[in-house]
Amino acid sequence: MARVQSSFVCSSCGNVTSKWSGRCEACGAWNTIHEEAPATSGPPSKSVTRAKGRNVPLTDLAAAEPPPPRTASGLDELDRVLGGGLVPGSAVLVGGDPGIGKSTLLLQGAAAFGLAGLSVVYVSGEEASAQVRLRAERLGLGTAPVRLAAETNLRDILTTLDGERPDLVVVDSIQTMWADNVESAPGSVAQVRAAAHELTSFAKRRGASVIMVGHVTKDGQLAGPRVVEHMVDTVLYFEGERGHQFRILRSVKNRFGPADEIGVFEMTGGGLAEVANPSALFLSERGTPAPGSVVFAGIEGTRPVLCELQALVAPTPQAQPRRSVVGWDGGRLAMILAVLEARCGIPFAGLDVYLNVAGGMKISEPAADLAVAAALLSAREDVALPPETVVFGEISLSGALRPVTQTENRLKEARKLGFTAAIAPRGGKAGDASGLSLTQMGDLTAFVGDVFGAG
């Protein structure tokens, strides 16, 4: 029998090569390539193509097996991000920076699902059971119906779970699990992939939901191979700034609900508290409108969220002006500055530009273009925008303003929080804009001329 050749995998980026080298060709990291033993193929009679009775017509499957009911935890923000609750047999991966509160969130979630009637097992590979119990008592969850286990051997964990048949399993974290049939250290690419595959297979086979905690790299991406994110049903990121008490749980992938949905929490001494109205929270510290301050009406998943954009434009003594951005894309800021100079004749040469999204919020949608341009112009001209005004819209390279989705929901959220005026692109479906003075514009030049009196 021909010997199957081994492969070499980079533990930093997951790149696979046929031979070992000291430096990874994909990411440039040194001494990160390790040999992986090939997986043995099963007997031909067990292959999927030769299995009998497994291919069922879709119509028969729909009639025989109705969709499994979701289980709501009672934590509305967590249920919202999951798509309405926890689906039986689903695999969920939760990532976040160290110390951001992942273990606290999942311990509170496990206790909530336990109180909702599920049989819950919390497996910790990083802490002892006594340490987890101590944190639970600090959070007021000492009497929650959750069973604890401190183990890293995947074989022992799966054997115990097969006997106990829980409804929900929380694994903290996937990087600490190790399979004794894989010849590599815990946390390596091979171990993370094998552990994630075994836990996902257990979830599908037993109908139990599995929530796995994943570490992130310095770039903010989940550590390990990207194939783990493809295996699971839902990928959640728990993010926030250390200097702020706000925490945002964001759905990046969800097979059972909308992606890009967010849940907002506030870190308190007693754990994570839900924030029912994030817009009011993000705008709570906003004082008297000042130059460079603009309120942006955004959409996160299906939820409209209002937040404050702050800009500062100042002369620079350096030959190369600084462009500093927090909470937004730096490349998109450079594009907005170029459009303002090329289409509106407003230069920013010799000026430092600083842009910040207040409250630790991170914005990714292009609908923030017009609000960013308004904040930059307001800071440059030292002129504050009219109070109680929200701004949103996408800017094209030609200087035209493009309509954005869910205009009606953005305006409804602004009206609910007491705003009386809105500036938006022409062509958006505003719906019932009663109570708001809506100004729709077609291009950036008209916006600059009408709002700032120049252009």
Binding residue positions for ATP? 96-103
Annotated binding site: 96-103
Bridge-based pairing of strands 303-315 and 351-357 is antiparallel
Burial class (CB in 10 A: 0-12, 13-18, 19+), 139: middle
Q: If we measure between CA atoms, which residue out of 268, 291, 269 comes closest to residue 281? A: 268
HSE, CB side, 13 Å, CA atoms: give it for residue 95.
Answer: 23
- If we measure between CA atoms, which residue out of 89, 95, 132, 97 comes closest to residue 213? 95
Q: Determine contact, residues 89/203, Cβ cutoff 8 Å.
A: yes
> Which residues touch 149 (CB under 8 Å, ≥6 apart)?
121, 122, 123, 124, 129, 157, 160
In this structure, what is the dihedral angle of CA atoms 143, 147, 152, 157, given to the nearest 10 degrees? Answer: -170
> Could you identify the residue written with the tokens 């109705």?
66
Q: Within the chain, what is the greatest distance between any pair of CA atoms?
A: 81
Q: How far is C-alpha 349 from the geometric centre of its chain's CA atoms?
A: 35
- Tokens representing residue 340 in the block: 């303002």
Torsion over CA: 253, 256, 257, 258 (sign): positive
Structure tokens that stand for 117 in this block:
């009637």
With residue 223 as reference, give the H or E element that holds it. Answer: none
How would you list the strands of the sheet with 33-36, edge to edge? 16-17, 7-10, 33-36
- CB-neighbour burial class of residue 219 (10 A; exposed 0-12, middle 13-18, buried 19+): exposed
Q: Where are the alpha helices (DSSP H) in 140-268?
A: 154-164, 189-206, 227-231
CA separation for the pair 314, 161 (Å, rounded): 61
**241 and 357 in contact (C-beta within 8 Å)?**
no
